[in-house]
Each structure stands twice: as structure tokens, then as C-alpha cells.
Amino acid sequence: MRLLNTETGQFEERDPESTKYAILSHTWDAVEQTYEEVRELQRPYASNGVLRSSLAPVRSPSNRWSPRSLMPSGASHNRSLSNPERELRPLWDNPELSAKVRDACTAAREAGYRYIWIDSCCIDKTSSSELSEAINSMYKWYALSAACYAYLADVPFDEDHRASRSSFRRSRWFERGWTLQELIAPLEVIFLSQDWKVIGSKHTLVDLVWDVTGIPEEALLHMESLDAFSVAQRLSWAASRQTTREEDHAYSLLGIFDINMPTLYGEGKRAFRRLQEEIVRRVPDQSLFAWWAIFTGIEARQDLVMTATLQNAARIAFNVWDGASTSFLATDVTLFAAGGSIRAVSHDDVFHRLQLSHLPATEYTSTPHGIRTQIPVIPLSFCVPQHAAHYPEKYASSQWYLAILGCEHEDYPGHLLGRVCYIPPSESGVEHLYCGYAAIDPTPERGTDVPELFPLSPDTLSRCRPEIQLKTIYISHPERAIAGSLGATTEPHRQIELTVSSRARRTLLAQGYSVELSGPALDSPAARWLTLSKDNDRVMIAFSHALDNAGRKLTITARVTMSQEPSSSSTREIHGTPISVSWSDYAPWSRSLGSRKVTISDPSTSQQFTVTLTVSFAGLSYYLLHVVVAAETPVAVPALIAPPWGLSSHPLPTNYSIYPDYPTFDRSPRCFLDIMTIIFICS
């Protein structure tokens, strides 16, 4: 560890475990003095901190040298000869030395510390290996220090620091990511004002610091190990803090979780993903998955399905956030803002509460498909009143669940948390688990109306126990970021342009359709017309769009019509009934707006066509159209036997029922044979 000697101003390599030293915690200014700059200032000085020669030049702040200053003469020259010690100036008198470095060394030296560590000048940041080592060792270095001086550059000494709007409470030091571990790791933290006067210590101000940071005194004063606090709790302490580099949101938390991992500046948000992957491998705590909003419209020990909020809901719509990641792992530490109330539950306790015959210890294995693990789930149909439940058409084929997590909310002790999730259909058996949410209408009297987490009481678990499944699922790897796409997805749209995708165009041409996209017209700048023609049949799709909220809300509408052009035996064009569908989106724009299916009929033959329309984001103000047309030829049911009550022998009508007061039978061939069997029996 490279330390700065507070007496000589020279760097020294020391073992931190056997050296008594102070350490500085501060917020960086726009310009901080670096290791190279301090090293350059040290060169003219001997190891004892004084100039090697009375004639050694002393730099001025402007870095300009006066020839006269290098030529001792007159009285000045005589004084240096008669008393040469007066020309030996220590490094601390050098005006080019940063005031922060000088004052920090002075504070430490006056307190009896010979060494101090200052991150801005004690790390050679030109060496990536040294920087990575320092980042991975920083928590340990702060923890081993005899005293940590927290310099609050924006806090005056003579004010009431406990006042509700005090500079202390609003200090930038409490808002930075790196200062979190610098507050927690050292046992002794001394707060200094902007003029380097002692405000108080972590011990004397612990209640105030707890109030400002939300970190309990048990963690601040090392009364309990950090492992006693859930992963969600620890991440909540960092949720509102800022870092200059996006990667530092993760790197500044390595020591909080006792994790080492390589630093790769340039990886962006993937650093936080890597941190979470390391956490699940090292820490048996599923509160990592308990981020975002929790449903609070439930009384203690109440069965979830019986809550008044859900029973009285007109609609409980399960869905996926547009434009947001659906991964079980959070994309950003800010999502843990409410995690301070989440407590971890041990695997043994989860096993006791679920009372399943088998619940293996949770493991997480990295695979090409993602992180494989096992998790107990309950089908959503058993957790909420089904009269109000609605599922998105886009995910209609997916199975929706509450994933049971090994954690609980402090307001609902004894209630495991269930997270809304869904599993898309998979023929290979590789089932990926994704997050969703519930939108409750009308808005509950308390709490959020879009929860992602639901408390599961013992009564809920007891009722649903026969339906609990232990699923082997995969948490997907993060999607590849497309260069430049992030900015495009957040900017407002202008005039929308639509283009038929090349794949759709080739498929339609192979089916014999000609494809023509026209528009806009002078009187309809927001309109486009897509025409698909084959023989005498023609599918016409009229697109229009509307932009609201200064281009941040988009609505696209498609009006689909089937028509038949006049043939040699027909003198007029025949049109079917138009059908309209629409898409809506808000900035940040989703990669796909989803698919809409329209079933239309040939007005002359009653042949049915299914047109599937998909709209995908292709860039700012550009969208791709994916069009699939599938023909469905109706199968006529032959008249095998006349009904015994004398009706004419014709194929059964589509709405036919042998019992007029009963619901219509299915029209499948098997159902027809069942009907005929009944007819024979009645005969």
C-alpha cells in the first residue's frame, strides 16, 4: 500500500496490517492532484522532506521561472551563505501542492499519525492493474485505518448540523457512491468542516448519520456484521447515491459484499449485472430478486386472494413494463430504493414454511442459456380473484406465476414474498423466467397500484400448497446493447416512417402476393397504405399514427380490409368489413410494439384469412412492419343422416345445437360424431 508520509511528504510502501495510518474520505473536485503530479513535486526534495540544495529551484504557481531567482546576489545571497538552513524549504511550503493534500496531512500529523492515504494521489491511475487492485482492496484499507477523516467541503463549522435543512444533512459527501464504504468500513470516522475543523465523529453523530443515510447504527458502529443485513438492505443504502462512471455503481459496492472481481471500465451497466452474478454465487439470500414495489393492501396473516383490494378490483392486469428489462436481476441499483425493509429468510426457514416434500438448497449455475436455478412457483390463477385477472395478448401463451422468494417485508413478518413472473412456452425444456407486474384498478387506498411483489401469508401458502411447483428455470443473459440505440429510444419522435421488413416482403412474394407501400398524401401526412394483391384478392392495410406529449407518446392504427377486384363475370368490386387494430408506446421506446391478429373473409367465397401485423422499433421515427398472411379454407361437414324430427338433411349450421337451450357445441369432427351418437341413441 502506497502511503504519504505526513512529515516528509514522500510516498512510502507499507503493509497496511502492521502500519498505523489515517485515511481521507472526500468528494472529488473538478481537478484533483494526481500521483504523477505529486511525484513530480517530490523530486527536488530529499527523503527528509527538504530541498536537496539551497539552489534548487522552487516552482511558482504559474510554472514560470525568473532568471533573477536562479542568481543569488546581494543581501539574499549573503543570507543564504550565512544561514543556509533558511533556504531549505519543506514540501509543505510548495505553493503547487494541493491545499487538500496539504491540509489532510496537517490534520493527520497533528493527531499523531505519521502516514495518510489519499485516493486521489496515492493511486497511479495510469496503471490499470494498480487501479483494479486498489478498487478491490479499498474497503479493506479503510477498515484497517486508525482514523478516517471525512472532509465535508460544503459544510461550515458554525451551524446547527442537526437542523432539518442543515448543510451537514445536504452535504454532497452523503450522495456519492464511493463514500458509502468509506463511511461503513472504518470504525473511527471523524467529520471535518470545510475549514478542517472537527464537527464530530461517527459515534457521536450516529443518530444523525442514520437519519441522513438510512443505515442502521448496528452497521455504522460495527455492532453487527454486514452479513446480518440482507442483500436488498445493503443495496438500498447505495440506491440514491451517484457516481461519475456508470461502472462505479458496482465497483464501489465490492467491499460491502466482500467480493473481488476485475474492473472493466467501458462495460457500463454490465458491471452491476456481474456484481449480482457474484452475489448469487456467494450469498444465500434471495432478497436480491425483491426489488421494486410491494403490494400493501393485505392484513397480517390474511389469505391474498381474500384481500378487499383484490376482491373489489374491477381489473387486475398482469403485464410487462414497456422498454424495461424483464430480467430477474435488476439493471440498476436505484431499483432497490425500497429494499431497506426487506429481510432475508434462511433456506431452512423457507423449507419449514412451505412444508414441501423436497426443496433442495438453492444453487446458481452459469450456462450458455443463462443462470440455471430452481425456484418454487404458484400459478397466478390461485393467487388472485380470476374475475378481475387479465393477461396481455402478447404473452397469452406464457404461464404466469408468483415466484416464491426466501425473504420477507418488515411490515409482514412470516410472509414470504412472491414476485410476478412469467415463463414463455418452450418445446426444448429450457424455460426462461421473466419479471412482470400487476396493474390494479381502481387504485388501492394505500400503497402502489402497480406492485411486482406480493406478501404470501401462511394461510395463502397452506391453501396453495398442492399447486406449488419446483421449477428449473433460466435467468437470461443481458441482451446485447446496440450502439447508439439508447439515445434513440429516449428521444421524442418526429414524423413516423414505416417500412415493410425484407423478411416479410420475401415471404409474401413467395406466397404469390405483390407488395406495395404508398403514402403519405399531401392531405394525410401521417397515413401509409400497404396493399397485398394475389389474383383477384386484395388485402389493404391503411396505417395512420398520432404523436402526443411533444412526440413522447405514439399511437399507430391499422385498418385492414379484404376486397375482390371485378372479374370477367363480375361488374363490381366487392369489399369486406374493415377491422381496426392499434399499438401505443411511450418513450423510452420499446424494441417491439407487439403483434396484432386480424381475421378477415373473402366477401365472395367466405374463405378466411388471418393477417398478423407486428410493429418493431428500427430507429428514431422509423418502424418496421412484419406482415404474415395465412389462408384458412373452411371444412364443410357432410349431411350423414337426417334428424329424426324431420328437418331437411343439410350440413349442421355453425351455431347448431340439438338442444336449443344449451350452449353451442364445438364444430370439430370429433364433436360432430358425438352429436350423431346422441342422435342414434335418441332414435
**pLDDT tens column, 606-648:** 678 889 999 999 988 999 999 999 877 655 555 444 444 444 4
* Span 264-281, average pLDDT: 96
How far is residue 553 from each of residues 40, 494, 546, 583, 586, measured CA to CA in Å?
A: 56, 11, 8, 11, 5
Of 35-49, 132-146, 302-316, least confident by mean pLDDT is: 35-49
Over residues 147-195, the pLDDT tens digits come to 999 999 999 999 999 999 999 999 999 999 999 999 999 999 999 999 9
DSSP track, 494-550: -S-EEEE-HHHHHHHHHTT-EEEEE--BTTBTTEEEEEEEETTEEEEEEEEEEEETT
Q: Tell me the residue length of the chain.
A: 683
pLDDT at 81 over 90: no
- What's the pLDDT score for residue 251? 98
> Which residues touch 485 (CB under 8 Å, ≥6 apart)?
none
Instruction: Match 473481488 to its residue by C-alpha cell.
Output: 260
- Would you state the cell numbers that stand for residue 636, as one nine-digit string? 364443410
Q: Which residues pair with 358 in a beta bridge?
A: none
Q: Do residues 530 and 591 make contact, with C-beta atoms less than 8 angstroms apart?
A: no
Alpha carbons 203 and 190: distance in angstroms, whole number: 9
More confident residue, 121 or 658: 121
SS3 139: helix
- What's the pLDDT score for residue 322? 66
Percent of the chain residues past pLDDT 70, beyond the cut:
82
Percent of the chain residues past pLDDT 90, beyond the cut:
68
Of 377-381, 511-515, 676-680, least confident by mean pLDDT is: 676-680
pLDDT confidence bin for 682, thresholds 50/70/90? very low
Over residues 561-584, the pLDDT tens digits come to 888 776 555 544 555 577 899 998
Q: What is the pTM of this model?
A: 0.73
Q: Tell me the average pLDDT of the chain.
A: 86
- What's the pLDDT score for residue 654? 41
pLDDT confidence bin for 665, thresholds 50/70/90? very low
Alpha carbons 403 and 473: distance in angstroms, whole number: 11
> Which residues touch 345 (CB under 8 Å, ≥6 apart)?
353, 406, 407, 408, 416
Alpha carbons 213 and 233: distance in angstroms, whole number: 12
pLDDT confidence bin for 480, thresholds 50/70/90? low
pLDDT at 50 over 90: no
DSSP track, 43-64: TTB-TTSBBSSTT-----TT--
Over residues 420-478, the pLDDT tens digits come to 999 999 989 999 999 999 999 998 988 888 999 999 999 999 999 999 999 999 999 98
What single DSSP character describes residue 11? E
Instruction: Match 451497466 to its residue by C-alpha cell.
Output: 269
- Would you state the cell numbers that stand for residue 264, as one nine-digit string? 472493466
